[in-house]
Amino acid sequence: MKLLHKKLLGLLSIVLLIPGYKAFSQDAQKGTLSIAIGYYNENNQIPYVKAKVKTKVDGRFKTVAGIPLKLYLNKDSAGNLIAQVVTNDKGEAAAIIPASLKSQWGAGPSHSFVATFDGNKKYDAATGDVTVGKAKIEIDTTSDRKIIATVYEMKDTAWKPVKGVDVIVAIKRMDADLNVNETATFSTDSTGKASADFKRDSLAGDANGNITLVAKVEDNDQFGNLSIQKTVPWGAKFVPVNTFDRRTLFATRDKAPIWLILMATSIIVVVWGILIGLVVNLFKIKKLGQEA
Amino acid sequence: MENLQSLESEKIIQDLLPQKFGRKGKIFIGVLLAFCLVGLFAYYRQLRYGLVVTSMRDYVSWGIYISNFVFFVAISLVGSLITAVFRLANVEWSKPLTRIAEIIAVAAIIFASLIIIVDMGSPERFYNLFLYGRIQSPIMWDVIVITTYFFISLLLLYYPLLPDIKILLRFKEKSGKGLHKLYKFLGSYWKESPKQIKLSDKAINILCITIIPVAFSIHTVTSWLFATTYRPGWDSTNFGAYFISGAFLVGAGSVVVAMYIFRKAYNLENYITPKHFEKMGRIVVLLALLYLYFNINEYLVPAFKMKKSEEAHLLGLFTGDYAPLFWFAILTGMIIPIIILLFKKGRKPVPVFVAGIMVVVGAWFKRYLIVTPTMLHPFMPMYNVPESYHHYFPSWEEWAIALGSLAGTMLVITILGRIFPIIPIQETLNEQHETAA
């Protein structure tokens, strides 16, 4: 009996230990997140920051959705909070720099951005940060279809041209940007300018022949992401082909193709003409029978 | 028909007059009526609660009803084969089979039209098809050709009946009051004068010529309902010919079944002889080989390419969920009948009858396989839909309506076989006179 009690006690201990072990093992399996922050300034308007959250699964990075993040300017204190955000399906979350941080933003030529994650049941707490210098980009065109992009950085309290920045000069299309010529990237000279010749003469534009040029600096260690656009009438005028009012096989009933109407009507008239003739023939047979 | 030489005219007439149903006939009619009534009740439920009582959902919007429709249209094509093609080609032996073929054609086309209305969620809006129909739509073409074919089939049934009605009118007591009145209404004016015969023969010839292109159109247009849409399994230029060859096969199969049953039920052994089964057996095997050829084209070529977008559909048929049904339809509908009928022993009445049943059953499942699996494999993947949308199995209402319509077709064939001589009497008499002379 004593032995039986011992055995039961042992079994009970194992049963009770299993959930504890499971909970422990879950803690041990918590994932690690990496947070990357990007700074964006488009058309020299209100800048924004975008955080991207990834984790390593089976040796490969995978984006993580639904992660709550706090974004700060310069340091992670309540007064410097940019926004609280949650990552989307692509593992990304973005926020503009709010007006409440205007004084901090204007205080110096460079700033840091900090993203923090407090941790949850699946992932450990994580932080990410990036430091960028204030910069802007401008775009101009000449009559001989040359595009000039100029990059400036804030030094002390004035904008100064920057040399040696890689600038992409392109044309904005529906899915991706198209190079203006055979070169994709241009470097700025000592005046901060990068110039590119436009060599896409027959490119389709909108109804007025307008196309959108874009100059951008991407993932620059010093300035982040800058971009600017300009609309120019350098494209070919797009004349839409509208079949809405034409006679087509897929149009409304009153817009059926003439050939189809003629063909269908003639077949119907011929076949039903024959059939009506045959019905009339029956009446003739009937009449003959009555006469007989 | 060497048997005819030994038979007296009066005996032929007595043999071929429509006969009252015996006990078995009444039971058969009762069973068919029961199926029809259950089908009607199921349709009442569908009208009351809407198409939600079916298993058709967003993806499979053409289910068992449309399969049935294609099957009926296919069977109806037999009218043009046996009656028109054989008559124009002077195929003498086919004469006793012409009325069976025409009756099947009329019955099938009636139910093809009805089942399309059953497939509509709001049949009370059917008239809108005529008010607002687009001539560009193959559905509109189908409505036109079905109506035309129905009308031609009726005329082709009616014209050759006139001489027989004259004979039927002589047997008032045997027919009974009601039928006698009907015969009187339909053909009392037929006096068999040379002028009447001339007009009638001319009309029958015109009908035989007209029905062939219309019959081809009806089934080609039905195939276009599928082939003009861009879907795996339907996107084929082969579909018109594929459908027509299949229709001729199932039509011939149904005639074989009907001639065996009528022969047994009405003791017509002297008129529908083993020679007819031998000849029809040869026709069925030829048509089965032709249809098999089109099937090989229809499946082997896409399978060889195995385009990514069609892969799920094709593998579903060959080795997936639909494989048992697919191979059943191929084996039962083509391969086994071909094996049976290729041999002389297989072209005796019983094996031909068995092969005919296999062809018809296989053909029904083949139509189901043409319609449904394609709808479950759209080019754009199904996304964010309930699990039930990924599968289709007809609800009991759909089964009841489909079986009811099949029973209805058989009922119409049986009733027409009760009212009118199933073998043309006058033509048989003419043939007897010719062979005797």
Residue B121, domain member (yes or no):
yes
Minimum-distance CB partner of B207 among A249, A278, A288: A278
Model confidence at A144: pLDDT above 80: yes
Rounded CA-CA distance A164/A171 in Å is 22
pLDDT at res. B8: 79
Q: How many CB pairs under 8 A join A and B?
A: 67
Side chain identity, residue A7: K
Residue A279, domain member (yes or no):
no
pLDDT at res. A10: 65
How would you classify the pairing of strands A224-232 and A33-42? parallel
Residue B262, domain member (yes or no):
yes
Nearest CA in chain B to A270: B210
pLDDT category at A23 given cuts 50, 70, 90 is very low
Model confidence at A93: pLDDT above 90: yes
B165-190, pLDDT tens digit by residue?
A: 999 999 988 888 999 999 999 989 99
Residue A7, domain member (yes or no):
no
pLDDT at res. A18: 56
DSSP state of B80: I
A249 and A257 in contact (C-beta within 8 Å)?
A: yes
Q: Containing domain of residue B66, as a range?
A: 2-377+422-436
- For B227, residues 6+ apart whose C-beta sits below 8 A from its C-beta are B234, B235, B236, B237, B239, B240
Statement to judge: residues A148 and A124 lie in one domain: no
DSSP state of A200: -
Statement to judge: residues A140 and A75 lie in one domain: no
Query: Which chain B positions have a beta carbon within 8 Å of A284's beta carbon?
Result: 199
Number of separate domains in chain B: 1
Residue B333, domain member (yes or no):
yes
- In order of A36, A40, B101, the CA distances from A219 in angstroms are 12, 9, 79
Which of A89, A278, A283 best probes binding to B when mutated, by most B CB atoms within 10 angstroms?
A278
Average pLDDT over residues B275-296: 96
Residue A219, domain member (yes or no):
yes
Residue A175, domain member (yes or no):
yes
CATH code for the domain of A37? 2.60.40
Q: Containing domain of residue A166, as a range?
A: 135-232
Rounded CA-CA distance B166/B415 in Å is 20
Query: Which chain B positions have a beta carbon within 8 Å of A288's beta carbon?
Result: 189, 191, 193, 195-196, 199
Which of A89, A285, A286, A290 best probes binding to B when mutated, by most B CB atoms within 10 angstroms?
A285
Residue B241, domain member (yes or no):
yes
B133-167, pLDDT tens digit by residue?
A: 899 999 899 889 999 999 999 999 999 999 999 99
Structure tokens at B170: 């002589």
| Sign for the pseudo-dihedral over CA of A217, A219, A224, A227 | positive
Statement to judge: residues A123 and A155 lie in one domain: no
B387 and B284 in contact (C-beta within 8 Å)?
A: no
* Nearest alpha-carbon partner for B58 in B388, B404, B410: B388
A75 and A114 in contact (C-beta within 8 Å)?
A: yes
3-state secondary structure of A123: strand
| Sign for the pseudo-dihedral over CA of B10, B11, B16, B20 | positive
Residue B388, domain member (yes or no):
no
Chain B interface with A: residues with Cβ < 8 Å: 132-136, 141, 144, 148, 151-152, 155, 158-159, 162, 188-191, 193, 195-196, 199-200, 202-203, 206-207, 210, 214
pLDDT at res. A242: 80
- For A190, residues 6+ apart whose C-beta sits below 8 A from its C-beta are A161, A163
Domain edge (last residue) among A133, A164, A183:
A133
Residue A182, domain member (yes or no):
yes
Statement to judge: residues A41 and A70 lie in one domain: yes
Number of separate domains in chain A: 2
B214-263, pLDDT tens digit by residue?
A: 999 999 999 999 999 989 999 999 999 999 999 999 999 999 999 999 99
| Sign for the pseudo-dihedral over CA of B163, B167, B169, B175 | negative
Statement to judge: residues A120 and A161 lie in one domain: no
Residue B384, domain member (yes or no):
no
Model confidence at B46: pLDDT above 50: yes
CATH code for the domain of B107? 1.20.1630.10
| % of chain B beyond a pLDDT of 70 | 98
Lookup result for tokens 């077709």: B409
| Sign for the pseudo-dihedral over CA of A52, A56, A58, A59 | positive
CA B337 to chain centroid, in Å, comes to 18
| % of chain B beyond a pLDDT of 90 | 75
Statement to judge: residues A182 and A215 lie in one domain: yes
Statement to judge: residues A162 and A103 lie in one domain: no
CATH code for the domain of A205? 2.60.40.10
pLDDT at res. B130: 84
In order, the DSSP letters of A202-248 are T-B-STT--EEEEEEEEEETTTEEEEEEEEES-SBPP-----TTS--
Residue B413, domain member (yes or no):
no
Query: Which chain B positions have a beta carbon within 8 Å of A270's beta carbon?
Result: none
Residue B396, domain member (yes or no):
no
- For B375, residues 6+ apart whose C-beta sits below 8 A from its C-beta are B59, B60, B61, B62, B231, B392
A100-135, pLDDT tens digit by residue?
A: 998 888 888 899 999 999 999 999 999 999 999 999
For chain A, what is the mean pLDDT? 89
Cβ contact, residue pair B191, A292, below 8 Å = yes
